[in-house]
Amino acid sequence: MSRASELAYEQIRAMILSGALPPGEQIREEWLAEQCGVSRTPVREALRRLESELFIRRSERQRSFVADWSLDDIEDAFVLRGLMEGLAARRAAQRITPAQLASLTSENRAIGDAVSTSTPDVQAFLEHNRNFHATILEAANSPRLTNLLARLIEQPVVWRTAQSYDVADLQRSHKDHSELLAAFQRGDGGWAESVMAGHIRRAFHTYADAHLGKKPGGTLT
């Protein structure tokens, strides 16, 4: 892939993930070329790659649109994320350094501060939650897992999940992190993997409720 195509790919992907190009939006190559500062050929190459990654879908008339992922698609992503982050937590429990454990403790303390009020600081929660999970991946010391998870842990999905949390959900997430810390302190990979799998699965149900228009507790809005 040429440098111009790579540039177009990164910019178009970022627009899709940020919502600047919303689901169902028709792709207009000329406009994208102007936005990316490249010709239309790199844009076409970028779109082919994004189509292979399921960010773009092509109609029977060969028109391109931003993909609108179904709840089943999202669940598949969460299932894969749970498996891989669970494995990362197991490996981290066996390899974590004192410095990494101290970093996790600090990040989780900041998460606790962010969610301890009646009006939680969701942005602070997101920042420290991202750092917490990134440190676990660092401790797992598996470049392959890190690269695979980079495609699954997209901030718009994480952001929407966190925005759907009520205070109790945020505090439960903080409690999960505290239990992960306990597992890491014990060097217990099975415990860490189990907690992480449940943590990710709970996040899926929160996302699903928001997708279906349900209030916390499962009632429709």
CATH of the domain at 158: 1.20.120.530
Give the pLDDT confidence score for residue 1 in this predicted structure: 65
Give the pLDDT confidence score for residue 182 in this predicted structure: 98
Q: CB–CB of 177/40 below 8 Å?
A: no
**Which residue range(s) make up the domain with 170?**
71-211
> Are 202 and 147 part of one and the same domain?
yes
> Are 76 and 59 part of one and the same domain?
no
Residue 110 burial (CB count, 10 A)? 19
Give the pLDDT confidence score for residue 178 in this predicted structure: 97
pLDDT at position 214 over 70:
no
> Are 17 and 58 part of one and the same domain?
yes
User: Of all helices (H) and strands (E), which one includes residue 58?
Assistant: strand 56-58
pLDDT at position 157 over 50:
yes
Q: Domain total for the chain? A: 2
> Are 7 and 31 part of one and the same domain?
yes
Last residue of a domain, one of 50, 66, 82: 66
The pLDDT tens digits of the residues spanning 111-144 come to 999 999 888 998 899 899 989 999 999 999 999 9
Give the pLDDT confidence score for residue 16 in this predicted structure: 82
> Are 106 and 82 part of one and the same domain?
yes
Last residue of a domain, one of 11, 39, 66: 66
> Are 62 and 137 part of one and the same domain?
no
Q: Which of 1-10, 69-78, 109-118 has maximum average pLDDT?
A: 109-118
- State the average pLDDT over residues 31-40: 93
Considering the chain, what is the average pLDDT of its residues?
Answer: 87
Backbone angles phi, psi at 26, to 5 degrees: -75, 140
> Are 140 and 97 part of one and the same domain?
yes
- State the average pLDDT over residues 192-208: 92
Question: What contacts 129, CB < 8 A, 6 or more positions away?
Answer: 107, 111, 158, 162, 173
Could you tell me the CA-to-CA distances from 118 to 13, 40, 83, 123 in Å, in that order? 36, 50, 33, 15
> Are 46 and 75 part of one and the same domain?
no
> Are 189 and 84 part of one and the same domain?
yes
